[in-house]
Structure 1
């Protein structure tokens, strides 16, 4: 569980609600037509932009913003170096019964144990890496689009509210509700964009970069294991992927 994301989302909404309650009732900021325009309009525009399965997939990918399943790269490197040592001593078959948690690393080791050509292994793993990056980029694209669309839908709601207000200027009782739609839709659009959609898109992009680094480490590690590279040399090579302050023996 990514505690930072949860604190950010919950804390952001708590601060907004607390600020509202200090000056008025929370019900004054609840407007169903405004919510329909902003949230409904954003979702509909997103469905126009992408196919329905892609949008559902993006929502599934977005759960990664709240779940932190990533393994520190230095820990992954240590695991690979240990596997390398076992392979150098007992051959690749010595890794046959190893229990490996990371599925990407496990597939690479399995192919190596099965005698697949090392170049073929690297090629297959790089294809998997490109495919993963493409899927994640689609998820980022969906949320970036929603982040850009929500404020625009808020502006549409504002225009609708202003038109309604101007058409009923002779009826003072209808000016308030129309003005509420005009202002609250802008508020809803800004909150959804800058507290939900854009931060999630940025968090997912950061996660993708970290995952790409981890997979590149695994690919280089598998390459070193299949070639029988010395453990120290392999560790130094893999540590090049890690920030200097994280390079601990």
Structure 2
């Protein structure tokens, strides 16, 4: 079973850069998106093999998530019961043996203006996925807007108080793992360095591979034995993020 997640940083823009061709090439069972930046009926996709599910932000051209699945889910919901649900930050699909959650975690922003709100979100999100875990396995994907450890970004020392690498955000991610979830990339590649999923558009960061690994596939503990591979498709362009790919045993 193949699952792909990608922060596309504007789906309408990336559609013009071969997005549908990439989805077809991947032939994933489930394809999740973050930062779609559109409202309902603002795009038409030629993806007839998939059931399409969306979570739109109230603010136009902002945030938004999606989940495309070849198999029709038992149920699909948006939101986690948090005030930021109006930013379209999650889609959850329930299948027979697990839930899949596509998540776009809020950024703490410049000068950490939104850090307190981010902390509140992290607490609510952890409680939400823990409640799902009580029912069956849980798979979480998306742009979680945190580099967990120094190995997960190019310049950890100079970024210690920057959004995405504060001690507060990193501790919250640790708490999520301690709640019974596994970072599948680090499960398989614990010491692999210089592999990132996001690069700033500034300072030729992608060309220099001065990036951050902030896009994830997490699985709950009971799904650990099914993880076959977890990779980052760093060669795929079109966004400032690269797609992340999870392969599970059926």
Bigger share in strand: 2
Structure label with greater radius of gyration: 1
Bigger share in helix: 1
Report the TM-score when normalising by structure 2. Answer: 0.22
- Say which structure, 1 or 2, has more relative contact order (CA 8 Å, 6+ apart): 1
Report the TM-score when normalising by structure 1. Answer: 0.22
